[in-house]
Each structure stands twice: as structure tokens, then as C-alpha cells.
Structure 1
Amino acid sequence: MARFSGKTAIITGSSNGIGRAAALLFAKDGANVTITGRNSERLEETKQQILSAGIPENKVNSVVADLTTEKGQDEVINSTVAKFGQLDILVNNAGAAVPDTQGNTGTDQNIDIYHKTFQLNLESVIRITQKAKAHLIASKGEIVNVSSIAAGPQAQPGFIYYAISKAALDQYTRSTAIDLVQHGVRVNSVSPGLVVTGFTNAMGVPDTGSKNFYDFMASHKECIPLGKSGQPDDIANIILFLADRNLSSYIVGQSIVADGGSTLVMGCQVHDMKTMLGL
């Protein structure tokens, strides 16, 4: 029997990248899945990949929604419970480094970017967790948050607001883990390093610049000692591990770092971003 048979999982930000990979793996492993994102075309691509894997359509709930809004949060939770009758796993994956349209970085970055970043990376997680809480308590379920190594102790002058939003998410993970474990709900997170997704494109970096960036990082051992960029499945498999109580039952409130060794050296900080993008 598949390990998530009879379970229902919500994976936010599943229209591409890590979220898409996690949704596909959960579905293949027996779970009912709710996939959600703001881009309807990319979300449909995720759905078709799941169906192409032989998963029946009645095991997939696709919701185009903006999770920074009450309406979007309610629609994701309510449609999941209405269709599948329960919620066992919540993967808070949706997040982004919101680009400053004026090109400002560091302390010059507009405060509006701070608000938009926190609204998506932290506030939406808080709100959807609150709305999912009763359902997860009923099922003695799991929450897996997707953070970032940017939350670590190293300075992130180019992505200040993104970094502090993920640092706040790490504290939220720890605190909610202790708050909810008394109800039988486990909360953990994964902190990816560089993973080849649409992350840089969402920041306004063209495909050429994105490829240059990933290639540069992978080819410099002071950036990624392992010598290669991560792939979405690398992180998705950790998400499934943390959602599997048979394998990770004694892990509570922790974040697993998956970065190819980057945080052990963090030499990428000495390189100029424009050089890495090759633009």
C-alpha cells in the first residue's frame, strides 16, 4: 500500500518548481492532493503531469487562488475538505523574493517590497495555518513549511526582506511546533539552498540570466561545494519524509537544510550578482 494512501495534502505554490514536484510525489504515493497557485496555465501543467502519472482525476483538487487574500485561503481549505472530507498534510511552499521594480537593493529597497514579501512569505502561512488548524488536529496531521538558507546567520544584503521573512518563518515553525504538538500535530520545515526552479524568473531575471546564475553557482565550489545545483525533487523528497510520521515521528520543530554544502562555506557572498547573471 502507498504510504500516503487515505491521506489528503495541500501543497501551496504548486504551479511549478518544488511545489509541483512535491504534489506529483504525494499523488504517486497515494495521497489526495490539492494543488494551488496564481497562474492558471502553469497550475494546469502540474495537474496534467499528475494525471499523466496514472493518478485518477478525482484525487486531484486544482484551485487557482491568491493566498495573500482571505478569499484565496478560504477557497483552498474549504474546497479541499469539501472534496476529500479531511486534511492531513499542509505544505506551506508558496513564497517569493519580490523584485524591486526600481532596481534598488539593500537598505535602499522600497518599504512596499517589504510589505509584499512578508504578506506572501509569512502572513499567508500564518493565516492558512490558522484556517487549517482544526482539520489537522482532527487528523493528527503534519505541517511542512518551506524556508530557505537565506534565513541563516550569514548576511543577505541583496535580499534583505526575503531573508528576514524566511528567518521569521523559521521562528514561526519552531513556535507553532510546540503549540500544536500537544494536539498531535507536527510542524517542521526544509531550508533549500540553490534549486533550479522558476524562482529567478519570478524576480524578473530572463532565462539567459537564470541559466548563467545557476551555472556560475554550480561551477564554483565556494558557492556549492557539491558542484551542482539542486533540483525540485531533491527538496520534495525531504518534504515527503517530514510528512511521513512512520519515518520522522521524533522530529518536531526542526528545519532540514538541503543546500549541497553552501552554508558551510557561503563563498558566493564575495561574488557580484551582475557577474553571476552574466548580463
Structure 2
Amino acid sequence: MARFNDKVAIITGSSNGIGQATAVLFASEGAKVTITGRNAERLEVTKKLLQDAHIPDSHINIVVGDITQESVQEALIKTTLEKFGKIDILVNNAGAGIPDPQGKTGVNQSISTYHKTFELNVQSVLEMTQKARPHLAKSQGEIVNISSIGAGPAAQVANPYYSIAKAALDQYTRTAAIDLAPENIRVNSVSPGAVATGFSTVSRGLDEQKSKAMYEYLGSQKECIPRGFCAGPEDIAKVIAFLADRNASNYIIGQTIVADGGTSLILGAHAHGARMVEAIFK
């Protein structure tokens, strides 16, 4: 029996990348899925991937829209209940580092960029959690938030608002886990490192070829990713599925699983190699 048989999952930000891979994985293992994103064409790509995996249309619900808008949040809950009758899993995946309109970095980024970054990466998660809560309580369900190793402890100078937003999300995950535990709702999160998705293409203005080259370079540099390669969206989707599977992770609440190939374990000094440094100063 597939582990998500008879389960219903809402996966935000599922028009590409990690959210898309999660939707395909969940549905392939029996779940009925609501997919959502701002780009209707990219959502159709996700739908096509689901159909190619032999998922029937009766197991697919699509909501096009901006997750920061209350009307879209309400549509996600309403249409999921109308089509599937319940909600078992909420994956709060939608998120992004929003570029400053004037190209500013660090502490010089505009306050409007700060507000937009928090609205997407934190506030939308709070709102979706509140709206899904009564339905997850009925099903004794799961929430998985998608954070980032950018949350720290290493500084992220170029885009600090994204980093502090994800740090706030980590604390919210811990708080929500304890608050919702009496209702038998489990809350956990995943913190990916570098993942080869369309994220760099959109946020950094790279075309597909340059984006691919960037990820390949990162993966080849052991001081960047000790594992030796850059993760694909499917690698992170498998971690999300583990946390959404009560049979596999029942005793885990309020935790953040880091899936970064060892990136967060490396110090700057490691790039030089301890033996080389010792040889210089002997």
C-alpha cells in the first residue's frame, strides 16, 4: 500500500522546483493533491507531470494565484474540501528571496522589500496554518514548512531579509508544533541548502544554461557542498515526504531537518585545508 493512500495534501508554490517535485511524489504514492502558484502555465506543467505519472484528474486540484492574498488562501481551503472532502497535509513551500527594486543589498535594502519578503515567507505560512488548522485537527494531520539554511547561524549579507524571514519561520515551526500538539497536528520543517531549481533563474536573472552551470560548479566545490553534488528538487521532496508520513516520523515534532549536503558544517577556514595552513606556518 502506498504511504499516502487516502491522504489529501495542499502544496503551496508547486508550479516548479521543490513544490512541484513534492506534488508528484505525494500523488505517486496515493495522495490527492492541491497544487498552486501564480503562474498558470507552469502549473499546467506540474499537472502534465502528474498525468504522466498516471495520476487521474480526480486526484488533482489547481488554484492559480498569489499565496499572500487572502482570497487565494481561502480558495485553497474551500476547493480542496469541495473536491476531496478533507485536508491531511499542508506543505508551506511557497517562498523566495525578493530582489530589491534598486538592486541594493545588505542593510541598505529597502523596507518595502523587507515587508514583501516577510509577507511571502512568513505571513502566508501563519495565515495558511490558521485556515487549515480546524481541518487538520479533524484528520490529525501534518504541516511541513520549507525553510532554508540561510536562516543561520552563518550571516547572509547579500539578502538578509530572506534569511531573517526563514529564521522567523523556524521559530514559528517550533512554537506551532507545541501549540498544535494537543490537537494531534504535527508541525516540522525542512531547511534545504543549494537545490538545482528555477529559483536562481528567476531571482538572479540567469538563463537556464547559466543556472545549470552555476549549480554544477557549486556541487563540484567541496568547500561549498561536501557531498559533492547539488541537490535536485526530488532530494528535498523525499525529506518532506518523510516528515509528512506519520508512520515514519510520528515522534518528531517542531524539528527542522537540514538537507544541504554538508554545506552548513563547513567553516571558511576549511576551504584552505588544515594541513596546508599548518605547512605555511611551520
Same fold (TM > 0.5) = yes
SS at 2:150 equivalent: helix
Q: Which residue of 2 aligns with 1:156?
A: 156
Cα deviation code 1:28-68 (max 9, x no counterpart): 00000000000000000001110111111100001102110
- Deviation, 1:104, is 0.8
- Deviation, 1:108, is 1.0
- Deviation, 1:269, is 12
Q: Is the 8 A contact 2:8 2:32 kept in 1?
A: yes
Q: Which residue of 2 aligns with 1:241?
A: 242
Cα distance between partner residues in 1 of 2:199 and 2:119: 17
Q: Which residue of 2 aligns with 1:8?
A: 8
Q: Which residue of 1 aligns with 2:83?
A: 83
- Deviation, 1:214, is 1.5
SS at 1:157 equivalent: coil
Cα deviation code 1:67-121 (max 9, x no counterpart): 1011010011110011100000000000000011221100111111111100000
SS at 2:115 equivalent: helix
Cα deviation code 1:214-260 (max 9, x no counterpart): 13311211111111101001000010000000000000000100001
- Deviation, 1:266, is 4.8
SS at 1:182 equivalent: helix
Q: Which residue of 2 aligns with 1:38?
A: 38
Cα distance between partner residues in 2 of 1:66 and 1:12: 10
Cα distance between partner residues in 1 of 2:202 and 2:162: 13
Q: Is the 8 A contact 1:96 1:202 kept in 2?
A: no
Cα distance between partner residues in 2 of 1:66 and 1:269: 42
Cα distance between partner residues in 1 of 2:212 and 2:270: 19
Q: Which amino acid aligns with 1:217?
A: L
Cα distance between partner residues in 1 of 2:217 and 2:123: 33
Q: Which amino acid aligns with 2:227?
A: L
Q: Which residue of 2 aligns with 1:261?
A: 262
Alignment of 1:102-121 (within 5 A): 102-121=102-121
SS at 1:19 equivalent: helix
Alignment of 1:51-70 (within 5 A): 51-70=51-70
**1:232–1:268: structure 2 CA closer, same or farther, 3 Å change rule?**
farther
Cα distance between partner residues in 2 of 1:155 and 1:142: 31
Structure 1 unpaired stretches of 5+: 271-279
Q: Which has the larger radius of gyration?
A: 2
Cα distance between partner residues in 2 of 1:5 and 1:94: 24
Q: Which residue of 1 aligns with 2:125?
A: 125
Q: Which residue of 2 aligns with 1:169?
A: 169
Cα distance between partner residues in 1 of 2:204 and 2:147: 21
Larger mean CA deviation between 206-215 and 4-13 belongs to 206-215
Give the total of aligned pairs.
270
- Deviation, 1:210, is 2.2
Q: Which residue of 2 aligns with 1:200?
A: 200
Cα distance between partner residues in 2 of 1:257 and 1:189: 9
Q: Which amino acid aligns with 1:41?
A: E
**1:134–1:216: structure 2 CA closer, same or farther, 3 Å change rule?**
same
Q: Which amino acid aligns with 1:244?
A: D
Cα deviation code 1:151-176 (max 9, x no counterpart): 12111111100000000000000000
Alignment of 1:21 onto 2:27:
no
Cα distance between partner residues in 2 of 1:65 and 1:9: 17
Counting aligned pairs with the same residue, the percent is: 59
Cα deviation code 1:158-197 (max 9, x no counterpart): 1100000000000000000000011000000000000000
Q: Which amino acid aligns with 2:228?
A: G
Q: Which amino acid aligns with 1:235?
A: I
SS at 1:202 equivalent: helix
Q: Is the 8 A contact 2:223 2:270 kept in 1?
A: no
Alignment of 1:181 onto 2:181:
yes
Q: Which amino acid aligns with 2:182?
A: Q
Larger mean CA deviation between 148-157 and 211-220 belongs to 211-220
Q: Which residue of 2 aligns with 1:273?
A: none
Cα RMSD after superposing both structures: 1.4
Q: Which amino acid aligns with 1:149?
A: I
